[in-house]
Amino acid sequence: MGVERALTALMLGALATAAPTAAALGAYSATQPKPVPAGAIEVTEPGMLSKAGATYVLTKDISSDRTALFLASGVTLDLNGHTVTYASGDYAHVANYGFEEGLKGWDVSKAPGAQVLDTDKVKPFIGRKILKLPAGQEIVSQYVSLPVAGRSYYAICGVLTHRMKVRVAVDDEQGRPVERKFTLLRKPRAECPVTATTKLGGGFVVAHLHGLPAGKYRIRVRAEGRDALIDEVDIRPALDCGVGIVDSTRVYAYHKALYDGEVPAFADYTRKGSYNRPAQSIPTAKSGTVTIRNGVIKSGVTGVQSWGVQSTAKGVTLKLENVKIVASGITTNAVSHPGAAVIKDCRFEIDTPFIINRHMFAASPVSIGGKSEVSGCEFIGGQGCLNANGDGSVIHDNLFVNRQTVTNHYSVMLGGRARGVKIYRNRFEPEIGSGITMFGVKDCEVYENTFKITAANGNCEYTNEDYSTNAIRITDYNAPKGAEKGAFGNRIHHNKFQITGRHYTNYRNYKPVATAIFCSVGAGKNYVHDNEITVKHENPGTPAVACAFYIGGSRIGGEYYNNRITTNVPAFWIGTFYGDASGVVAKNNTITRADGAPAGFKPFRLGYGRIKATGIKFIGNRFVNCEFGVQSSNQSNRYTRE
């Protein structure tokens, strides 16, 4: 789909001179280089674009083995149809870092029990193979060349669950251990070697290497205390970006910091002895607008923790117009900006099969602050697509193709207690995963979008229980009524949903759930109305679940009215795997029983085991090819009907 649309955009791009409105169609389109206008400054190589307020124009493709360009306040960077490649050098990978070729290339003389297993039988992680490393045993890689001196690399080891601990160490060419410690408040923190766990849902143990001479290095990983399942063991360039917009820097890139919620920024470009001041040669940006337009920003390596555009300039408005960003790696992202952004007609192609710490929502391909506008963009791949924090943003006319393999990385993540965000006319068509999460947000509006959502197979965190894939998740984790962190006053209306339920059989006891709306709210009312929803459960009668509305762990389940639902399974499930529900009003909805629905079809389902639904009101609903009926788990469910 994305490719077809891109091709269309390219064809339209060819006509752009004849049809200047092509950009309004909403998509990135390649532009032809033009002569540098008077007053603008030519850019022919990577470096510092230090003249505040100037317009810089590329006259050729450029590349850098580290971060490519830094921009001062008020700079416009016109890529002029060219490509900026960052982290482009003679970088190599540890041979067979993902164990896809078994143990080939690995020294397992200290790991006689090491065994390569199939992810579709054990648990999903990265690729089709994963290594089981018995407790106390250690594997060692072949040597890999780190060709650029003095910069940051991460030695990384993916670990399947937070209960498994590993020691990650690095040897130099002479076989001597590399030792790095970060001293903060006079206390040393382990950088390399590091012995650590991840967090719930698994992730990466990271040894930060910096200030090393170029040369050959190898990585060794030992399972500590118990057997570990590990994958993607490599040494990679880290912390690069295509374009840097610097206010302050952040140097904390040791393992524990990355799990305490730290996002390092420009660590290799920090003044000696400082934690947050940029090196003297780096231009800074504090306010005004920085614009980047018309070209491609691309990573030259499959790296770790990098960004196409990274900014710490909260006071700057970042404008991106007709830019394509392409990158791959672990925790590899397109744009990070803490302030307002205007992002128009861009395309983000991000291949990031896993992230270091899945609890970091900032590890979304595009992460921006409030009062932003994102329109006409295509988000292809990534763990989630867009993380929008803060109030008053508008997100419209975009295509979101999420490729979500970690928990809770929705196509659009609304958080930071945002108020008044509007999301409209977008297409949500994930390859894998969910649509929008509305976490603790208020007075937001989601309308005229289309969602195509299919139940996902288990991820590394959920294979023996239920796991939901949702068009929209609205939650405050059942917060007290009126709570500051509550999610209420939100309206979801006039959207189209196509929900597909599917049963998977390779993980025992796995129960996939697919929904249009998953509501788990306690703080106040939300309103879901005038939506058109099709639910097609491909395997009714299996443990897999599909429904339009899935309301559980929710004292104030909300109001659902004037929705039109065509389904072969109950449209509403209230009181679910996720917990009790109450305070639901279902009014004037039309529920159509789809052809081929199982015998005994009921429009409503209440409760599950000892989980119950109470205080439920059914008012004036219409039923087509069926009649009112409730599939009720037990006598404690309570509803009224008018």
Contact set with Ca ion (CB under 5 A): 98, 126-127, 129, 231
A 10 A CB-CB count for 143 gives 18
Nearer to Ca ion, 53 or 102 (CB): 102
Distance CA 358, CA 203 (A): 7
Nearer to Ca ion, 114 or 586 (CB): 114
How buried is residue 148: exposed, middle or buried, by Cβ count under 10 Å (0-12/13-18/19+)? middle
Contact in structure between 278 and 285 (CB atoms under 8 Å): no
Residue 109: CB minimum distance to Ca ion, A:
22
Residue 143: CB minimum distance to Ca ion, A:
21
Strands 203-209 vs 153-159: parallel, antiparallel or unpaired: antiparallel
Q: What angle do CA 290, 296, 301 make, to 5 degrees?
A: 110
Residue 116: CB minimum distance to Ca ion, A:
9
Nearer to Ca ion, 98 or 370 (CB): 98
Residue 157: CB minimum distance to Ca ion, A:
12
Buried b (16+ CB within 10 A) or exposed e, 224-262: eeeebbbbbbbbbbbbbbbbbbbbbbbbbbbbbbbbeeb
CA atoms in the 13 A half-sphere facing the CB of 47? 9
Tokens of 271: 């003044």
Distance CA 287, CA 207 (A): 35
Q: What angle do CA 604, 607, 612 make, to 5 degrees?
A: 130
Residue 232: CB minimum distance to Ca ion, A:
6
Nearer to Ca ion, 119 or 393 (CB): 119
Residue 126: CB minimum distance to Ca ion, A:
5
Residue 128: CB minimum distance to Ca ion, A:
7
Nearer to Ca ion, 129 or 502 (CB): 129
Contacts of 101 (CB under 8 A, 6+ apart): none
Residue 312: CB minimum distance to Ca ion, A:
34
Residue 130: CB minimum distance to Ca ion, A:
6
Residue 97: CB minimum distance to Ca ion, A:
8
Residue 100: CB minimum distance to Ca ion, A:
5
Contact in structure between 428 and 450 (CB atoms under 8 Å): yes
Q: What angle do CA 472, 473, 478 make, to 5 degrees?
A: 155
Nearer to Ca ion, 116 or 581 (CB): 116
Q: How far is CA 402 from the centre of its chain?
A: 8
Nearer to Ca ion, 127 or 579 (CB): 127
C-alpha distances (whole Å) from 557 to each of 200, 476, 477, 518 are: 28, 11, 12, 10
Tokens of 589: 């909805």
C-alpha distances (whole Å) from 180 to each of 58, 193, 238 are: 39, 7, 16
Residue 101: CB minimum distance to Ca ion, A:
10
Contact in structure between 254 and 182 (CB atoms under 8 Å): yes
3: enclosing H helix or E strand: helix 2-14
Nearer to Ca ion, 89 or 127 (CB): 127
Nearer to Ca ion, 66 or 129 (CB): 129
Nearer to Ca ion, 157 or 456 (CB): 157
Contacts of 104 (CB under 8 A, 6+ apart): 95, 96
Residue 204: CB minimum distance to Ca ion, A:
13
Nearer to Ca ion, 231 or 268 (CB): 231
Nearer to Ca ion, 114 or 340 (CB): 114
Contact in structure between 592 and 617 (CB atoms under 8 Å): no
Nearer to Ca ion, 111 or 320 (CB): 111
Residue 331: CB minimum distance to Ca ion, A:
17
Nearer to Ca ion, 70 or 125 (CB): 125
Nearer to Ca ion, 156 or 320 (CB): 156
DSSP one-letter code for 107: B
Contact in structure between 104 and 318 (CB atoms under 8 Å): no
Residue 339: CB minimum distance to Ca ion, A:
38
Distance CA 642, CA 640 (A): 7
Distance CA 366, CA 114 (A): 38
Contact in structure between 189 and 183 (CB atoms under 8 Å): yes
Please report the DSSP string for 189-223 in residue order: EEEESEEE---TT-EEEEEEE-SPPSEEEEEEEEE
